[in-house]
């Protein structure tokens, strides 16, 4: 397969506990090229927009509160089969079910405070990349 882009967020829990560097190192070790990276802090509206597909879920208000509680690091990542590979190295959504050596097994606290986000499909990856990055940002 050819090179593919995906989108990732190091979430507020991992930034706060000082694991951003560990997570970036694991991503680089897994062969991801960092195309773009920025620290930012989501407003309530931005978090609601980003997670709009989950707005009917019971955990939505809590998820929005969590994602706005502190700074996050947004990243555009590239490698072969990037979307699938990122989901492998992140591990299961619930860290209790994540395999040994995955990012969530190593650093996540709970199914909600799960330290990292990764796009789940090519269409969502493009939408999510465009939520945070411009064409110029992504040309590296």
CA angle 110, 16, 58 (to 5 degrees): 35
Binding to ligand CMP by residue 114, rule CB under 6 A? yes
Closest CA to 118 of 82, 67, 80: 82
Contact with ligand CMP (CB under 6 A): which of 46, 93, 106, 124? 93
Contact with ligand CMP (CB under 6 A): which of 59, 99, 121, 140? 59
Q: Smallest gap, in angstroms, from Cβ of residue 30 to ligand CMP?
A: 17
DSSP 8-state class, residue 95: G
76 phi/psi in degrees, rounded to 5: -105, 125
Choices 22-30, 35-43, 95-103, 112-120; region in contact with ligand CMP by CB under 6 A: 112-120
Contact with ligand CMP (CB under 6 A): which of 34, 37, 111, 138? 111
Rounded distance between C-alpha atoms, residue 66 and residue 60, angstroms: 10
Closest CA to 135 of 78, 89, 76, 47: 76
Choices 35-43, 99-107, 111-119, 127-135; region in contact with ligand CMP by CB under 6 A: 111-119
Q: Smallest gap, in angstroms, from Cβ of residue 57 to ligand CMP?
A: 7
DSSP 8-state class, residue 100: T
* Binding-site ranges for ligand CMP (CB under 6 A): 54, 59, 63, 93, 111-112, 114, 117
């Amino acid at each position: 397969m050819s090179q593919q882009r995906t989108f990732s967020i190091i979430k507020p829990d991992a930034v706060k506990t000082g694991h951003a560097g560990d997570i970036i190192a694991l991503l680089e070790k897994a062969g991801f090229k960092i195309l773009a990276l920025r620290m930012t802090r989501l407003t309530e509206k931005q978090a609601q927009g980003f997670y709009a597909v989950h707005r009917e879920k019971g955990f939505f208000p809590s998820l929005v509160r969590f994602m706005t509680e502190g700074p996050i690091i947004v990243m555009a990542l590239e490698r072969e089969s990037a979307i699938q590979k990122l989901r492998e190295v992140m591990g299961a959504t619930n860290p209790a079910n994540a395999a040994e050596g995955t990012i969530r097994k190593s650093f996540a606290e709970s199914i909600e405070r799960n330290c990292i986000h990764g796009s789940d499909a090519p269409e969502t990856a493009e939408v999510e990349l465009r939520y945070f990055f411009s064409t110029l940002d992504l040309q590296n």
